[in-house]
Chains A and B, each alone.
Chain A
């Protein structure tokens, strides 16, 4: 049984006693003639494995942490949770928030130059028409015979 010196977030909360669980008493099996010994031993094995792996909370009995151990674990868990918490992601905004001085100058600035406007309009028209001409050229079949004799 390993010695746990450090109490961290991975410390088991419930100490599972490493006791031998009672398998079904062999007396009942002894009375019946062993017709299928393999099946019976397999069933016993499954039962034994389940019994050892299942943590029977009800059968553990009264269990409590010492006050000091409890508060220390609370502290450890809170520290780990706080470290793992991510800051809320900033909302994506394309427009920057401008100071009032910049706003006044910006709103009063002259409009888009006609040459620039035509450049943008023509470029977008060409791009739109190019995108509309995207085609799929069919060369091979999509569905092929596979391992068909």
Chain B
């Protein structure tokens, strides 16, 4: 698979969650593969009233403080890339409730 900037690891899965290719920090990571597959199944069962009739999403991203995952589907395969975040001290305002 093509090299993605800041890439830490990647996974290519079948639609059922079987690992086709893997590399970097995600090499042979069946655990993450299962989690991602379950996440996609979960997203498929979201109540359709929440979205427009033919509204489709292009990617799912899971963002942590120092790294993030980008997930998309292409040619009936699930692509997962773990990328690092060059974190600069952010001036974010966190609301504590």
A residues near B (Cβ < 8 Å) are 91-100, 102-104, 106-109, 111-112, 114-115, 117-118, 121-122, 125-126, 128-129
Q: Tell me the bound Cα distance from A122 to B68 in angstroms.
A: 19
Nearest opposing residue in chain A for B88, CB measure: A114
Within 8 A of A (CB), among B69-97: 70-76, 79, 81, 83, 85, 90, 92-97
Known contacts A92-B48, A111-B63, A115-B92: does B97 contact A125 (CB below 8 Å)? Answer: yes
Chain A nearest Cβ from B25, distance in angstroms: 16
Residues of chain A contacted by B57 (CB below 8 angstroms): 94-96
Q: Kindly state the interface size class of chain B when it binds its partner.
A: 35 or more
Q: Tell me the bound Cα distance from A92 to B5 in angstroms.
A: 32
Q: Tell me the bound Cα distance from A133 to B82 in angstroms.
A: 37
Residues of chain B contacted by A115 (CB below 8 angstroms): 92
Secondary structure dominating the interface of A: helix
Known contacts A94-B44, A94-B56, A114-B90: does B68 contact A100 (CB below 8 Å)? Answer: no
Nearest opposing residue in chain B for A114, CB measure: B90
Q: Contact between A118 and B74 (Cβ–Cβ < 8 Å)?
A: no
Nearest opposing residue in chain A for B97, CB measure: A129
Q: Contact between A97 and B74 (Cβ–Cβ < 8 Å)?
A: yes
Residues of chain B contacted by A114 (CB below 8 angstroms): 90, 92
